[in-house]
Amino acid sequence: MTPAAEESLRVLRTTENLSWYVVPLLIFVIYIYVTEAERKNWSAFYLGICCWAGELIWEQFNALILHFTGYAPLWCTPGQSAFVIYTGLNIEIEAFFAVAGVIIVKSLPEDRNLKILGINNRIFLPVMWGLISVFVETALNHAGMLVWDYWWWSFPHLYLVVIVYVTPWFAITRAHDRLSIAAKRRWAAILPVTAIITHVILANMLGWI
């Protein structure tokens, strides 16, 4: 097992590094959702929840990679966090994904055919946000805050990281355009419940993540 994986397991769901900045961080996330609800921007509201819950499920999969390989997850957050939720997810990252879906939806123009630099905005914007996300991850990796232990999931081999980011941003864009509010509401209920159930099974009952 890599040193980063060992350290992430050592601090996994412990409160030894808990800090007061978590409180304003959570208030910030709550404020965004209250604001979108007040404006009745239900697409951003529900898809934001879907993005948050989907990230939890995805991170559980990443933690399972560590469990079954005994070596390392694809990405690891070993320290410098107030609270590590899974081996590759901390509360700071989860706060980002809690608002990421809202940001994606709010950045989409009402005109689906509008072009940006000659490219349809429904293609340009998900790719742009995906590349920005990869840039941030690369910077965090360079700072040692986000560790990549597999050579094919590391700089300069970032193609898989790009795909992992661009794909959900495309999915959110498509869901915003294609799904009804009722369907978005259903998914905003299904995904969090699924994340909770899988956490209880994989973390509490089996102790795998």
> Residue 79: pLDDT above 80?
no
Residues for the chain: how many in total?
209
The domain tally of the chain equals 1
Q: What per-residue confidence (pLDDT) applies to 163? A: 94
Mean pLDDT of 40-69: 97
Report DSSP letters for 113-175, one per residue.
Answer: T-EETTEEHHHHHHHHHHHHHHHHHHHHHHTTSSB--SGGGBTTB-HHHHHHHHHHHHHHHHH
Q: What per-residue confidence (pLDDT) applies to 155? A: 84
Q: How far apart are CA 124 and CA 130, in angstroms?
A: 10
State pLDDT tens for residues 128-187. 999 999 999 999 999 999 999 999 998 888 999 999 999 999 999 999 999 999 999 999
- Note down the domain range covering 137: 3-205
Q: In the structure, what pLDDT confidence band is assigned to residue 205 with cuts at 50, 70 and 90? A: very high
Of the ranges 31-35, 78-82, 110-114, 169-173, which one carries the lowest mean pLDDT score? 78-82
Q: What per-residue confidence (pLDDT) applies to 116? A: 95
Mean pLDDT of 100-112: 96
